[in-house]
Chain A
């Protein structure tokens, strides 16, 4: 087990380098100049532009810039923003807790409601419950998240007045509730569908017949035998979804005015702050890599036949 984890951690290094390099190239090679953008519509002073570019190392070849960046990163230095000269790390540590809170609420919602709906539908395959759940998940996947978000804001916020239309205080769980549900909606649909398919497949398995024949109570059969064996694809999905929920919340955060990672990224894109974009993605990649390692370790918990030597 320990050796397996160590090997996996080592394998993460090339992926980490590859992903940061890819995003670094994407941000830097593509056209658009953040230094010139400091002047807005006014013509920039070439000498000053050159000076800033030199100070920031932006005149170096790209591979040197990347090495500098990675060198700093290993010491916990994410670089500084071009406009304002603030440490990128400050902006990230400000935004991440907010996104983390929102994402973990959305994730819990996905997990509990998604698996429950999936189990109900899978057990009653072809019946009314199943058809309702299937139709619901199809609708949720088809209606884009920005439409759902806008409608929820309009309906619950403006018409009914149950929630504040935008989040005023990102520490307040009740204000984050509706944005979290909106954010977790699509994932919920996928979790429900995956659980349903998996349960429906395993329901016919021999061990299920054995469990019923042994006279085990129905609830125990479902939770201990059926669900445990059906969870592997669901756990895989939930694991990779952590990163998506943290970084992909651009839309939800925009609609409900949550000042999280998505918001930070959107601002950074508009201002062409390469260091912020690369920094945020770097943290997201780390989250993704750790989540996928945990998922792989969970496989062995769910299915004892899987062993990591």
Chain B
């Protein structure tokens, strides 16, 4: 990973010298002896992609909301004034006020609940993606690099997990837990989701492991660990990053779907999916109780999927 930050930093420097179109940058070229890597190119491509800029902006805002919900609202998301605010209609001109998005049937501020719900959704999405990428990536790397027994074992294991529909498996696992914290939900989704990354990583490692530079590194006496982490990993990482970014959005959907079914986060936790489920009791007369949590959820997922798309376009030379 340090390679990535280094190359992005140099890309920024170059861009500041030639802020115009990439054509200029290519014409002037990087300094000799400083070859442009895939990451370098990808970063250049990304910044000029409006999809990436919009999604990155949205994601930064969402991360701030998730980390500091108190900055956006003072209203208490957990208790409401049922007598005065029962299903109060939204006051769309009261920006950032407690009644901006209206009230739910317990008189709680929907705006406050939407803001406070961001943390759990994003925590689950990001957490599952990290777990899955680390574990699945490691398994895929072992299977792809060592082949033989490890490859058969891990490949058969991924086959087994692929046979079980994701949502269904998650329902079975989570049904057994009475106290479903963020960590339990994260663990359950990661337990069922790691195989996808493992497959992608395995394929990528197999295509890179016979490359000349790997053979050269081995001839120079590099150890297995060095070959794996310094030579193969950086070159096999691109497809993994693409799949991981896109699946982040789908994990957020999975969490809210499970919460909608009553099998997601436990009672105390605020989840958009749970709020949507509550809203279904009477959406005909009170569509606002459904609209705002559903809208927030959709925007969040959209941001991550757009980001994944942009990253894929940047990292896949065939699509240029």
Contacts and interface: CB of A to CB of B under 8 A. Distances in A.
Interface stretch (B25-33, B82-90, B206-214, B301-309): B301-309
A27 interface: yes
B176 A154 contact: no
B154 interface: no
Determine which residue in A15, A147, A240, A248 has the highest number of CB atoms from chain B within 10 A of its CB, and name it: A147
B250 to A, nearest CB: 8
B171 to A, nearest CB: 6
Interface string B271-299: 00100100010011001001000100111
Please report whether the interface of chain A is mostly helix, strand, loop or mixed according to DSSP.
helix
B148 interface: no
Interface string A243-285: 1100110110010000000000110010010000100010011
Interface residues of A, number: 45
Contacts of B130: none
Given A23-B164, A281-B164, A142 B301 contact: yes
Contacts of A145: 257
B257 A22 contact: no
Contact of B261 (A19, A143, A251): A251
Given A138-B306, A251-B260, A19 B163 contact: yes
B239 interface: no
A109 to B, nearest CB: 19
Contacts of B249: 141-142
Contacts, number: 124
Given A18-B159, A251-B261, A285-B163, A141 B301 contact: yes
B157 interface: yes
A200 interface: yes
A147 B294 contact: yes
A18 B152 CA distance: 14
A288 B162 CA distance: 9
Contacts of A146: 257, 260, 273, 276
Nearest to A278: B172
B interface, by DSSP: helix, strand, loop or mixed? helix
Interface in B109-133: none
A139 interface: yes
B94 interface: no
Contact of A19 (B160, B172, B256, B306): B160
B319 interface: yes
B160 A22 contact: yes
Contacts of B284: 154, 158
A26 B305 contact: no
Interface string B168-188: 110111011110000000000
B161 A22 contact: yes
Contact of A143 (B163, B176, B298, B318): B298
A8 B221 CA distance: 41
Contacts of B261: 250-251, 254, 266
A30 B276 contact: no
A147 B318 contact: no
Contact of A14 (B156, B165, B166, B177): B156
Interface of A: 14-16, 18-19, 22-23, 26-27, 30-32, 138-139, 141-147, 150, 154, 158, 197, 200-201, 240, 243-244, 247-248, 250-251, 254, 265-266, 269, 272, 277, 281, 284-285, 288-289
